Amino acid sequence: MKKLIFLLALVLTLGAVSIAQTVINEDQVTTLYGATGDTLNLGDTLLNTYYVDDFSVDAELFWDLDSVAGDPNVTVLFAGSYDNSNWITINSTSLDIASGDTTFVQSSGTYLYPYLKIQAIAVTDAQTTKYKYVLVVRKN
């Protein structure tokens, strides 16, 4: 009975972990956010992870960041992992966003990471930054 309960708990835990990320099975373009309420303020963090089934050839991440208020500074991170726990930075950049629009591209080049992490962190006081990103994954 103990083994059955342990097995059930393990299955539920693995199911919860697999739900926490988006699975990419084929070439895909993913556009997220961009609505009026999608903003970052000091201390806010945007974090999304993706699992690329059977790896991929390369990926590009296009950021569209708009200053709504203040003098925004945002750190954007693109990382890869083989095990979804130890992350290797592909590109990390701190951006000062002038009034208006800033577009920034992060490219993985050729890689074989099955997991991708996309993160944006607001790092300055008194800022509001509207954000959107487009992730392009090519598998073949």
**Mean pLDDT for the chain?**
75
Report the pLDDT averaged over residues 96-104: 69
Confidence (pLDDT) at 57? 64
The whole-number average pLDDT for the span 81-108 is 80
C-alpha 108/C-alpha 92 separation (Å) is 11
The DSSP bridge partners found for residue 95 are 74
**pLDDT surpassing 50 at residue 16:** no
Q: Are residues 130 and 37 in contact, defined by beta-carbon separation less than 8 angstroms?
A: no
CA angle (70 as vertex; 64, 71 as ends), nearest 5: 65
**Would you say the C-alpha torsion 67, 71, 73, 74 has a positive or negative sign?**
negative
Note the pLDDT tens digit of each residue in 42-91.
888 889 998 888 765 678 888 888 887 777 788 889 898 889 999 999 88
Q: What CATH number does the domain located at 23-138 have? A: 2.60.120.510
Residue-level pLDDT at 101: 63
Q: Where are the domains of the chain?
A: 23-138
Mean pLDDT of 25-44: 76
The residues that bridge with 102 in the sheet, in sequence order, are 65
